[in-house]
Amino acid sequence: MSEVIVITSGKGGVGKTTTTANVGTGLAQLNKKVVLIDTDIGLRNLDVVMGLENRIVYNLVDVVEGNCRIKQALIKDKKYPNLFLLPSAQTRDKTSVTPEQMQKLVEELREEFDYILLDCPAGIEQGFKNAIAGADRALVVTTPEVSAIRDADRIIGLLEANEIKKIELIVNRLRMDMVKRGDMMSIEDVHEILAIDLIGAVPDDEQIVISTNQGEPLVGSDSLAGQAYLNICKRIMGEEVPLLDLESKNGVWSKFVSLFKKN
């Protein structure tokens, strides 16, 4: 049974593309057959984060317009043979594709893949509508900032209105030192406002910047963020990985560390 998951946020720059790259790679590490679709037509960059830019021949718009077959446009990952990318077009814009066309494309890919991840553009316009059209499930990415949370709230409302039943939250770029000082919202604060299931929290980690710049997702690596992403992947697959215990005196960091040690 394949699942179509849209990664969305409303606000830009909170880590949708990084999350898509890492979650997709993580699911591939866990032996799932995965395809990532970059729906940000005109502002393509999932291919850059994946380090696959130099392999692009055809793109999403080519597939939709019938210039090529889906198979021709799919790019196989450098490391994982069960991971593919369908890149976006850079020279076109969001109106080049309709929600109906996206739905049809996704239905075709369902036959081949276990997970289809859609990297959604920022905003709530055509690009967003295209991205959510065929989705079964949504991961809403937010950072613990009031502006990002306001946008995430709006997005959740729109997802609910579009009858996407399963909506889960990823709190990205958490800085526990700031949370402790009271300068940043805690996971609990975020969760209280958005009131949807939390599927993972990812700490702010400079390793992310490094890995993004290298074009190699860090999921599964020794870094805290790498472990956090892998836990998200396991939870997506239905595995019960304990969520971070916010009440514990040790705080989130040591919980991360202890989870890491167990593995």
Partner 1 sequence: MSQPVVLKSNPHGINLILDDRIPFQELLDEILHKFKESDKFFKNARIALSFEGRELSQEEELAIVDLISRNTSIDVVCILDNNSLRDEICARKIQEFDESQSGRTGEFYKGTLRSGQVIECKTSIVVLGDVNPGAKIIAKGNIVVLGSLRGNAYAGAAGDEHTFVAALDMDPVQIKIGNVIGRSSDRGPLSAIKNRRKTLEPQVAVVMDDSILIEPITSGLLMNI
Secondary structure element (H or E) that encloses residue 170, with its range: strand 166-174
Q: How many residues bind partner 1 (CB under 8 A)?
A: 16
Minimum gap (Å) between residue 155 Cβ and partner 1 = 9
Residues composing the chain: 263
Binding status of residue 151 toward partner 1 by CB under 8 A: yes
Which part of the chain contacts partner 1 (CB under 8 A), choosing from 29-37, 102-110, 154-162, 239-247? 154-162
14 assigned to a ligand binding site: yes
Could you tell me the CA-to-CA distances from 112 to 33, 56, 82, 106, 139 in Å, in that order? 8, 21, 11, 10, 22
Helix, coil or strand: residue 84? strand
Binding status of residue 180 toward partner 1 by CB under 8 A: no
Can you say how many angstroms the Cα of residue 138 is from the centroid of all Cα atoms in its chain? 9
Position 248, amino acid: S
φ, ψ of residue 195 in degrees (nearest 5): 50, 45
> Rounded distance, CA 207 to CA 194, Å?
28
Residue 177 class from Cβ within 10 Å (0-12 exposed, 13-18 middle, 19+ buried)? exposed
48 assigned to a ligand binding site: no
Helix, coil or strand: residue 166? strand
Binding status of residue 78 toward partner 1 by CB under 8 A: no
Nearest to 11 by CA among 162, 150, 206: 150
Nearer to partner 1 (CB atom), residue 68 or residue 193: 193
CB 41 within 8 A of CB 96: yes
192: its two tokens? 């209280």
Nearer to partner 1 (CB atom), residue 182 or residue 242: 182
User: How many CB atoms are closer than 10 A to CB 45?
Assistant: 17
Of 185, 187, 202, 233, the one binding partner 1 (CB under 8 A) is 185
Minimum gap (Å) between residue 195 Cβ and partner 1 = 6
12 assigned to a ligand binding site: yes
Nearer to partner 1 (CB atom), residue 43 or residue 158: 158
Nearer to partner 1 (CB atom), residue 112 or residue 189: 189
Minimum gap (Å) between residue 70 Cβ and partner 1 = 35
Nearer to partner 1 (CB atom), residue 196 or residue 243: 196
Nearer to partner 1 (CB atom), residue 32 or residue 129: 129
Which part of the chain contacts partner 1 (CB under 8 A), choosing from 53-61, 71-79, 181-189, 249-257? 181-189
Helix, coil or strand: residue 80? coil
Binding status of residue 137 toward partner 1 by CB under 8 A: no
Binding status of residue 112 toward partner 1 by CB under 8 A: no
Binding status of residue 156 toward partner 1 by CB under 8 A: yes
Positions that interact with partner 1 (CB under 8 A):
146, 150-151, 153-154, 156-158, 160, 182-185, 189, 193, 195
Binding site as annotated, residues: 11-18
